[in-house]
Amino acid sequence: MIRKIYIILVSMVVLGISSCNDFLDLKPMSYPTDENFWQTDDDANSGVAAIYALIRQAFNYSGGMTFYAYGDFPSDEFTTSGGAPWMFNHVIDMNWSFAVPSSDTGNPLLRLRRYDIFYRAIDQANRVLKYVPDMSASAFASEQARNRLIGEAYFCRAFVYFYMSRVWGGVPLVTETIQVDEAQDIDAVKAEEILDQCLQDIASAKSLLSWDRGSSSTRAIRANKTALFALEAHIHAWNQDYTLCAEAADSVLTYGGLAYVGRGESYKSIFVGQSNEGIFEISQNATNEGTVSGIGMNTLVEPYLRGRTGNPGLIISPTHIGSLYPTDDLRLTNAFDLQASETSAVCTKYSNVTYTDETANAIAVFKNNIIIFRYSDIKLLYAEALAATGREVAATSVLNEVRNQAGIGDWDLNGDLFEEIIAERGRELFLEGHRFYDLIRLGRFKGKLLFGSKMTATQFNAGKYYWPFDPSLLNVNRRLRQTSFWSTVNM
User: Can you tell me the distance from the alpha carbon of 256 to that of 115, in angstroms, rounded to the nearest whole number?
Assistant: 32
State residue 182's pLDDT score: 59
Model pTM score = 0.93
Q: Which of 308, 287, 276 is nearest to 83 (CA)?
A: 308
Task: List the chain residues with pLDDT less than 70.
Answer: 1-33, 81-85, 179-183
- Taking only the tens place, the pLDDT of each residue in 160-171 is 999 999 999 999
State residue 436's pLDDT score: 98
Q: Which of 142, 106, 114, 131 is nearest to 50 (CA)?
A: 131
Q: Which of 256, 260, 205 is nearest to 230 (CA)?
A: 256
State residue 21's pLDDT score: 42
Q: Give CA 466 to chain center in angstroms.
A: 16
Q: Which of 413, 349, 402, 405 is nearest to 377 (CA)?
A: 402
- Taking only the tens place, the pLDDT of each residue in 197-211 is 999 999 999 999 999
- What is the full DSSP assignment across 249-276? HHHHHHHS---PPPSSTTTTHHHHS--T
User: Can you tell me the distance from the alpha carbon of 130 to that of 176, in angstroms, rounded to the nearest whole number?
Assistant: 8
Strands of 256-415 (E only): list them.
278-282, 336-337, 346-347, 353-355, 364-366, 370-374
Cβ contacts of residue 129 below 8 Å, gap of 6+?
A: 150, 153, 154, 157
Strand partners, 79: 315
Residue spans per domain, the chain: 38-209+473-483, 296-368
Q: Which architecture does CATH list for 38-209+473-483?
A: Alpha Horseshoe (1.25)
User: Can you tell me the distance from the alpha carbon of 369 to that of 416, in angstroms, rounded to the nearest whole number?
Assistant: 34
State residue 429's pLDDT score: 98
